[in-house]
Amino acid sequence: MKRYLIALLIVLLPLSASALTADEVMKKSQAAFLYQGKDFKARVMMKLISKSGQERVRELTMLRKNYGASGGEQKYFMYFFQPADVKDMTFMVNKYPAKDDDRWLFVPAINMVRRIAAQDKSSSFVGSDFTYEDVSGRDIEDDTHEIVKEEKLAGKDCYVIKSSPKAGDVDYSYKQSWIDKADFLPVKEEYYDRRGELYRVFTAEEIKEMKGFPTVTKRTMKNLQSGHRTEVTYLKADYNIGIEDSLFSERFLKQPPKKWIE
């Protein structure tokens, strides 16, 4: 009898895997995309490209440390190399679930650390087409999620999930994400504006394994309405490097330790 049951379970297993709820898929995706490892470091190159082909570059080191489980508190530390005149500028974000972030910025030219208000989640991150929320994530509970369909995209089996914000606190009326069934990384996201028109598209172009964690190392966000796009490349990336809590302080904001930023 037991054998039969096991056989039955084995038969049902792929089914039960696909029987994940939309919320479960999004949770898994959040963990894979934004909470991987205990901590994370990447050298990030951002290209901001206008419709007419003008380019702006932002180069930074991004450090991230998790406090708690996926969906929980996180701290981010960013150090800018480019543009040249903002070298040594640093930016720190404490991200809390269900609460506004805390943000600090160090302006080296006047040797000043300033807290920055973080009311507007959908404002642009350093002038790019990514919003702060795109970079650090959005609480799963803020949206209702549903699986629209399952389909192959770029050779990957994906869940297609429609997420609609419960409150009208963001620019989009809904988002449709293609989540890879294998590694739960987003392959593509489409943002529809309040008129129901597609206006922003996220695509993950390159995925590499780093210390066993599949990581999106090249991504693009394109604004279809303004024709502006932002390409992000991780020049280097690493996980579980043992970032100390003390890094996330005003002192290090002014004088970040070389070992962490390079």
Partner 1 sequence: MRKFSLVHFSVNHPKSVVLLTILITLVFMTRFPRITTDTNPKHMLPANSDVRVWNDEVDSTFALYEDMIVLGIVNEKGILNKDTLGKIQRITDEILNIKGVAARDVNSFPTITNVTAEQGVLKVAPLMTKIPESDAEVGSLGKMLYENPLFINRIISKDGKTTAIYVPLEKDANGKEVADKIKEIAGKEKGDEKYYVAGDPVARDTFGAEMFKLMAVFAPIAGMVMLIVRYLMFRDLFLSVTLMMDAMVSIIWSMGLLIAFGFPVHIMSSMAPVFLMAIATDSIHIFNEFYFRYKEKKDKKTAIIETMNAVSRPVRYTALATAVGFGVLLFMNIIPVKVFGGLVAFGTVMLRVLSFSFIPAMFTFVNEEKIEKASRSEDIEFSRTSQLLKSLAGFGTHKPKATVFAGLILFVIAIIGLTKIVVNNNMVEWFKKDSEVRIADRVMNQALGGTSLGYIVALSNEDGFIKTPEAMRYIEGLQRHLEKLHIVGKTSSVADYVKRINLVLHDNDPKYDAVPDTKETIGQYLFLFGMSAKPSDLDNVVDYPFRKANIWVQLKTWDAQAMRDVIEATDEYKKSHPVPMEFKPAGIAYFNLVWNDEVLYDMLRGFIIALIVVFLILVVNFRSVKWAIVGYTPLLFTILLIYGVVGYIGKDFDMPISVLSCLSLGMAVDFAIHFISRFRQHLSEKSEVRSQKSEDAKNLVTDALLWTAARPGKGIMRNAVLFAASFAVMMFASLTPYITVGAFIVSMMLLSAIMTIIYVPALITLLQGWLFCDKCEGGKNKF
Phi, psi torsion values for 150, nearest 5 degrees: -125, 130
Among 6, 18, 21, 85, indicate the residue that binds partner 1 (CB under 8 A): 85
Q: Can you tell me the distance from the alpha carbon of 74 to that of 173, in angstroms, rounded to the nearest whole number?
A: 27
Q: Which is nearer to partner 1, 18 or 225 (CB)?
A: 225
Least distance in angstroms from the C-beta of 123 to partner 1: 5
Tell me: does residue 68 bind partner 1 (CB under 8 A): no
Among 166, 195, 258, 259, indicate the residue that binds partner 1 (CB under 8 A): 195
164-183 residues in contact with partner 1 (CB under 8 A) are: 171
Residue ranges with strand state E in 55-195: 55-67, 73-82, 90-95, 102-107, 112-116, 143-153, 156-165, 172-180, 186-193
| CB neighbour list of residue 10: distance below 8 Å, 6 or more residues apart | none
Among 76, 125, 174, 184, indicate the residue that binds partner 1 (CB under 8 A): 125
Among 23, 73, 120, 142, indicate the residue that binds partner 1 (CB under 8 A): 120
Tell me: does residue 56 bind partner 1 (CB under 8 A): yes
Tell me: does residue 114 bind partner 1 (CB under 8 A): yes
Q: What is the DSSP letter of 224?
A: T
Whether the Cβ atoms of residue 237 and residue 217 lie closer than 8 Å to each other: yes
Least distance in angstroms from the C-beta of 184 to partner 1: 30
Q: Which is nearer to partner 1, 11 or 110 (CB)?
A: 110
Tell me: does residue 245 bind partner 1 (CB under 8 A): no
- State the number of binding residues for partner 1 (CB under 8 A): 40
Least distance in angstroms from the C-beta of 60 to partner 1: 11
- In this structure, how many other beta carbons lie within 10 angstroms of the beta carbon of residue 134? 22
26-45 residues in contact with partner 1 (CB under 8 A) are: none
| Pairing label, strands 172-180, 213-223 | unpaired
Q: Which residues pair with 207 in a beta bridge?
A: 216
Q: Give first-to-last CA distance, the chain, whole Å.
A: 60
- Site track for partner 1 across 211-230, x = CB under 8 A: ------------x-xx-x--
Exposed / middle / buried, residue 31 (Cβ in 10 Å: 0-12, 13-18, 19+): middle
Chain length of the chain: 262
Tell me: does residue 108 bind partner 1 (CB under 8 A): yes
Binding region for partner 1 (CB under 8 A): 48, 50-52, 54-56, 80, 83-86, 89, 91, 105, 107-110, 112, 114-117, 119-120, 123-127, 171, 193-195, 197, 223, 225-226, 228
